């Protein structure tokens, strides 16, 4: 006849003591978190290609599967490990991807080959540093192919960005010439530490990939390539600007502040009183007692509740092409945002670069992005666990907490 208690709210975040809330690891080592997500993408695609091509190379996929399994450890993807351990996790993932690339090539040899064709299928490379606009295997090439695999069960339409050192014409799988924009790579991208690419431009073009299928695009260097020339690209600097397509409209002032976003389909405008990058000062402690709990990889504990802007001034550069409109907001030499709207897209793409964070002053800095709106939410918001369940949350409140 025992009645068990029930719990319907979230278990997170976990608290070890009054000042030890385990929320720091949600964002610790973001580069490793991103690399694991990317590695899982490669793993799933490799499994699909292995099955669809019927090449039965499952054992060659094991190194990446095992590395992914290890990286799921609560001191791996969480980012709470020491640096040399994080390096080991990343190395295992890298070696696993190298093994998976062999499977990808063997699969494409079978899938891309045509009847009565004796020419070998070109070797496929992964542009693993495309997030910093670097793809060394194609730099300086007069021609190359780009094969894009769609692992989902529905066709997708995407804008592809390819870092290049020269102008190219692009042909679709059916031989049609594809319109593309030839856009300079932004200075913050080119200044990322460790970037070795000599590419100064990106080619942007629209693709349509069938469900559980692929398309191959053909690039050939030509001086008279059919692209949007730099002279046709309109650029404004430190002026109020508007990014818009048929679905969205974003308005910025001349200081790089986002003033509003408008859903043009429903004629709804959301004004912003502030938007940008801020930082909290980390609490410094020796962890001897709960009240001396320091902020770190496990715990997010700011010294004060009020964040500071990463810079008191910012510069904004807006770029307009037929394919994309974007605003580059530079706060200082180590922090910037790039906000993009693609032609026909119903979403806004926001990319940030932070780092190396200056630590010469021995002050820990917790960097955040903040948007201040007039939404009357009554401190209530909703999150989901990977799309499985929507949870209602209320700021500084939990129904099972004792507030007395």
Q: Which domain holds residue 197?
A: 130-232
Cβ-in-10-Å burial (0-12, 13-18, 19+) of 249 comes to middle
Counted domains in the chain = 3
| 155/35 same-domain check | no
Looking up tokens 């897209």 gives 345
- 294 and 257 in a common domain: yes
Of 191, 210, 232, the position where a domain reaches its end is: 232
pLDDT for the residue numbered 231 = 47
Residue 394 confidence (pLDDT): 87
Q: 210: how many CB neighbours lie within 10 A of its CB?
A: 11
> Would you say residue 188 lies in a domain?
yes
Closest Cα to residue 266, out of 252, 246, 244, 250?
Answer: 246
49 lies in some domain: yes
Q: Is 202 inside a domain boundary?
A: yes
pLDDT in tens for each of the 404 residues of the chain? Answer: 899 988 877 777 888 887 888 989 999 999 999 999 999 999 999 999 999 999 989 999 999 999 999 999 999 999 999 999 999 999 999 999 999 999 999 999 888 877 766 667 888 899 999 999 999 999 989 999 999 999 999 999 989 999 999 999 999 999 999 989 899 999 999 999 999 999 999 999 999 999 999 999 999 998 765 555 554 688 899 999 999 999 999 999 999 999 999 999 999 999 999 899 999 999 999 989 889 999 999 999 999 999 999 999 999 999 999 889 999 999 999 999 999 999 999 999 999 999 899 999 999 999 999 999 989 999 998 887 666 678 888 888 888 777 77
The answer on 252 and 186 residing in a single domain is no
Query: What is d(CA 300, CA 297) in angstroms, rounded to the nearest whole number?
Result: 8
Domain CATH number, residue 47: 1.20.1270.50
Q: For position 334, what pLDDT does the model report?
A: 95
Same domain as 175, residue 203 = yes
Q: What is the DSSP string of 117-135?
A: --SPPPPP---TTGGGT--
- The angle, 0 to 180 degrees and rounded to 10, between the axes of the packed helices 83-112 and 58-71 is 150
CB 250 within 8 A of CB 243: yes
Number of residues written out for the chain: 404
Structure tokens at 130: 């495309």
Residues 297 and 156 in one domain: no
Per the listing, tokens 């700021």 go with: 395
**Cα–Cα distance, 69 to 64 (Å, whole number):** 8
Specify whether 359 is located in the same domain as 296: yes
Is there a single domain that holds both residue 387 and residue 289?
A: yes
- 5 assigned to some structural domain: no
Residue 271's H or E segment, with its range, is strand 268-281
Q: Looking at the domain assignment, is residue 16 inside a domain?
A: no
Do 335 and 388 sit in the same domain of this protein?
yes
Pairing label, strands 180-184, 227-228: parallel
Q: Is residue 402 a part of any domain in this protein?
A: no
Reference 145, options 180, 110, 178, 173; nearest CA is: 173
Residues 65 and 44 occupy one common structural domain: yes
Residues 385 and 312 in one domain: yes
CATH code where residue 349 lies: 2.70.98.30
Do 138 and 202 share a domain, yes or no? yes
- pTM of the entire predicted model: 0.87
Same domain, 228 and 248: no
């Amino acid at each position: 006849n025992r009645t068990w208690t029930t719990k319907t709210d979230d278990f997170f975040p976990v608290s070890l003591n009054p000042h030890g809330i385990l929320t720091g690891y949600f964002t610790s080592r973001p580069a490793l978190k991103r690399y694991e997500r990317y590695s899982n993408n490669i793993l799933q695609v490799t499994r699909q290609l292995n099955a669809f091509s019927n090449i039965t190379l499952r054992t060659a996929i094991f190194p990446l599967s095992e590395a992914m399994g290890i990286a799921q450890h609560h001191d791996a993807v969480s980012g709470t490990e020491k640096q040399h351990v994080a390096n080991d996790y990343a190395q295992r993932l890298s070696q696993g991807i190298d093994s998976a690339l062999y499977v990808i090539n063997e699969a494409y040899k079978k899938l891309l080959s045509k009847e009565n064709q004796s020419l070998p299928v070109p070797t496929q490379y992964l542009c693993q540093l495309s997030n910093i606009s670097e793809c060394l295997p194609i730099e300086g090439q007069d021609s190359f192919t780009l094969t894009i695999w769609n692992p989902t069960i529905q066709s997708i339409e995407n804008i592809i960005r390819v870092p290049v050192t020269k102008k190219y014409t692009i042909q679709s799988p059916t031989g049609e010439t594809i319109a593309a924009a030839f856009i300079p790579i932004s200075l913050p991208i080119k200044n990322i530490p460790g970037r070795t690419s000599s590419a100064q431009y990106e080619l942007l073009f629209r693709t349509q990939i069938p469900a559980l299928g692929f398309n191959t695009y053909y690039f050939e260097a030509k001086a008279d390539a059919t692209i949007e020339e730099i002279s046709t690209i309109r650029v404004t600097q430190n002026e109020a600007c508007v990014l818009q397509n048929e679905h969205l409209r974003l308005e910025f002032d001349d200081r790089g502040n986002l003033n509003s976003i408008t859903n043009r389909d429903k004629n709804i405008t959301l004004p912003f009183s502030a938007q940008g990058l801020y930082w909290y000062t980390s609490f410094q402690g020796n962890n001897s007692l709960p009240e001396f709990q320091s902020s770190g990889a496990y715990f997010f504990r700011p010294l004060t509740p009020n964040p500071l802007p990463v810079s008191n001034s910012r510069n904004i550069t807006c770029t307009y092409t037929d394919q994309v409109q974007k605003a580059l907001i530079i706060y200082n030499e180590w922090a910037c945002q790039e906000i993009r709207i693609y032609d026909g897209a119903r979403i806004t793409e926001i990319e940030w670069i932070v780092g190396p964070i200056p630590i010469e002053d021995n002050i820990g800095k917790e960097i955040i992005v903040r948007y201040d709106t007039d939404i009357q939410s009554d401190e209530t918001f909703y999150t989901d666990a990977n799309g499985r369940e929507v949870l209602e949350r209320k700021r500084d409140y939990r129904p099972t907490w004792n507030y007395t």
